[in-house]
Amino acid sequence: MILHIVLLKETSANIKYCIIEGSDEIINKGVQYWPIDDDEALIDNQRAKAVNSVNTVYITEQTMYVTLDNLQPGTKYGFRSFVTTQKGTIYGDESSFTTKGESSLSM
């Protein structure tokens, strides 16, 4: 799966994706995203699955845009794609973006 951030706003992000299908039947596919601290490195696949703050948007089309809503202004998010087949779940590379605006979190 290939992901590109297309548009960032204060409380949403639009992501364009394209799925490159292989020989295995795809059961589920989508995008996972989560808030991350500025000092925190992008979390690895095993840790991301265990974190309670991971949100999932399931995708039904092969090439499309997905909007991540209800984000916090001025907040950094990690995200990655995933595809599930009978053989298991495969995760794409992790990346990050920061929503526009000022963070409402007090330090």
pLDDT tens for each residue of 44-103: 544 554 456 788 888 877 667 788 999 999 999 988 888 899 999 988 888 889 999 876
Phi, psi torsion values for 68, nearest 5 degrees:
-95, 115
> Helix (H, G, I), strand (E, B), or coil: what is residue 47?
helix
For 5, the token pair is: 């951030």
Largest CA distance in the chain: 49
Q: Record the pTM.
A: 0.76
